Amino acid sequence: MRLSLKPFLPRSLFGRAALILIVPTVTIQLIVSIAFIQRHFEGVTQQLVHGVVMELALMRDAVEAAGSVEAALAAVQPLAGAVEIGVELPVRSVATTDRRDWADLTARPVIAELRERLPNVLSIDLASIRGTVLLAEQTRHGPILFSLSRTRVSASNPHQLLVIMMLASVLMTLIAYMFLRNQLRPIKRLAEAAEAFGKGEAVPYRPRGALEVRAAGAAFLDMRLRIERAIETRTLMLSGVSHDLRTPITRLRLGLSMLPEDDEVQALLSDVREMERLVDEFLAFVRGDAMEEPVEADPAQIAARIVDNVARSGHSLDWESRLITPVMLRLRPQAVQRAVENLIGNAFRHANSVRLTLSANERSLRFTVEDNGPGIPEAQREAAMAPFTRLGTARDPNRGGGVGLGLSIAADVARSHGGRLVLGRSEALGGLRAELILAR
C-alpha cells in the first residue's frame, strides 16, 4: 500500500509557500544544532574531562600510596584544595548506578569519557546536586567521593544556543510570514476578481505586487474589458436586429388579420407567431442576465414565485425545499427564475409529472427539475445544451412550440453564476433530471 502525503499538505498557496520556506530552514537548523552539539560540545567535553582525569588520577595515586585513611586524607586534601575538588574519605554510602537528568545533553559523553579513563569508578552522579559532579572511586582504603563543578567537565550552557536559535527561528518565521502575506495578497485579490467576473460581477481591481503578478493582473483586466465590450456589442447588435425584425413581423400580422380567415391565412399567422417567439427567445438567449445587477436574494422565495407562476399557467408542480436553514445568496433573481422556468417549461412539454427540488451544501445551491418524460440519451446530453439543437423525435425541441434555447439559456445563467447545468436521469421519475448549480 502506497502512503501519500498529499492529504496532509496545505492546499492554499500561502500554506505551501510557508511550508517551502519553513521546512528547509528548520531542517538546516536541526542538522546544524545536532552537528554542533555532537562535534563541538562533545569535543570540548572530552578535552575538559581529560584534564580532570589527570587531577583525579594524581589524587588517587596519593591515596593509594598512603598507609592509612588518615594519611591518605592528609595527603589528598592539599591537592584537592589546589584544584578545587571536594574529597570525602571514608564514604558512608555510595551509589551503585550512574545518574543523569534526561534533558542533560552533555551528560552521556561526560559519563562515557570518565568511565573510559577511570577504570576504578563506582558511580557518577550528575543529577543529585545541580551543577556538581559526584564521582565515587574504589581505593585500597575504601570508596572515595570526589565532588567538582560541572563546568570542569563539560561546556557550559549548551541550552542557551538552542534557545537563541529557536528565538531566532520564531523571529525569522514571523518576518517571512509578513513578507509572504504581502506577496500573496495581490494573487488572492486577482483570484477574487476573476471569480467574481466568472459570476458576472466586475469588482474593482488594480494590479499590485511583483512584476509577474502585475503582468497577470493587467492581462486579466484587458481580457475582462474585451469580454465586456464583446457582450455589450452583441447585446446592442441583437437588440437592433430584434427591433428591425419586429417591425416587418408586425406589418405581416396586421396584413394577415385583414384578409379573410381561411386555412392558409391561419397557417401564415401561425408562422408569424413562431417567428415572434423565435426572435424573443433568441434575444433572451444572447442578452442572458447582462442587464440585471446581482443582489442578495433568498432562493426559497425565487422557487416560491416559480411555483406560483406554474400554478397560474394551469400545471401541477411537485415542489420540495431541502434547505435546513435560510440561505441568502448574491445572484440575479430574474435570470435564475427565467432559467428554472425554462427547465420546467421544457419538462412539461415532454412529460406530465414534474418535480422541483431546492437544496444546498457548503459550496453550491441546486435547483433540480425532474420529469417522467422520455429523457435525453447520455450521448446527446452535452449537445442538448447547445443553442438550436435538434434532438430526436422523442424529445424534439420544436414540439410544443420550443425553439431549442431553454437548456442553452439555463446553462448560460448557471455559468454566469459560477456554476453549471448538469443533465442526467431521474431516479425517482425515470425521465430527465436537470440540475441548475449555482456557486455560493
- What grid cell was written down for 160? 542557551
Cα Rg of the chain, angstroms: 44
Tens digit of pLDDT at every position of the chain (440 positions): 455 666 667 677 777 777 777 777 778 777 777 776 666 666 777 788 888 889 988 998 898 888 888 888 888 888 888 888 999 888 877 888 888 888 776 788 888 888 888 888 889 998 888 889 999 998 888 888 999 988 888 766 556 666 777 787 788 878 877 887 787 888 888 888 887 777 667 778 888 877 888 888 888 888 888 887 877 776 677 667 766 777 787 788 788 777 777 778 788 887 787 777 777 766 665 555 555 677 888 889 999 999 888 888 888 888 888 888 888 888 888 888 888 988 888 888 888 889 999 998 888 899 999 998 888 888 888 877 776 665 654 454 444 445 566 787 788 888 888 788 989 888 888 889 999 998 87
Nearest to 343, CA basis, from 320, 371, 380, 379: 371
CA distances from 390 to 351, 371, 376 (A): 18, 20, 12
Model pLDDT for residues 371-415, shown as the tens digit of each residue? 988 888 888 888 777 766 656 544 544 444 455 667 877 888 888
- pTM for the structure as a whole: 0.51
Round to whole Å and give the CA distance between 81 and 86.
Answer: 7
Cα 413–Cα 419–Cα 424 angle in degrees, nearest 5: 90
CB count, 10 Å around CB of 421?
Answer: 23
Round to whole Å and give the CA distance between 90 and 139.
Answer: 10
355 forms beta bridges with 318, 370
Q: Which long-range contacts (CB under 8 A, 24 or more apart) does 213-219 make?
A: 213/186, 213/187, 214/186, 216/190, 217/186, 217/190
- Total count of residues recorded for the chain: 440
List, in order of start, the domains of the chain with CATH numbers. Answer: 9-159 (3.30.450), 211-273 (1.10.287), 290-439 (3.30.565.10)
Round to whole Å and give the CA distance between 245 and 230.
Answer: 22
Which H/E stretch holds residue 174? helix 158-198
433 forms beta bridges with 370, 424
Round to whole Å and give the CA distance between 89 and 216.
Answer: 83
The SS3 assignment for 416 reads helix
CB count, 10 Å around CB of 89?
Answer: 19
- What grid cell was written down for 321? 425545499
Handedness of CA 99, 105, 106, 108 (dihedral sign): positive
Helices (H) and strands (E) in the chain, counts: 11, 11
Model pLDDT for residues 397-406, shown as the tens digit of each residue? 444 445 566 7
The SS3 assignment for 154 reads coil
Round to whole Å and give the CA distance between 334 and 355.
Answer: 21
Residue with grid cell 394551469, as numbered in its chain: 314
* CB-CB contact of 357 with 435 (8 Å): no
* CB-CB contact of 259 with 272 (8 Å): no
Cα 347–Cα 353–Cα 359 angle in degrees, nearest 5: 75
Residues 6+ apart with CB under 8 A from 45: 106, 109, 110, 113, 153, 154, 155
The whole-number pLDDT of residue 369 equals 92
CB count, 10 Å around CB of 310?
Answer: 20
Round to whole Å and give the CA distance between 37 and 42.
Answer: 7
133 forms beta bridges with 148
Beta strands in 39-97 (DSSP E): 86-88
137 forms beta bridges with 121, 144
Beta strands in 298-430 (DSSP E): 317-321, 329-331, 354-360, 364-371, 420-425
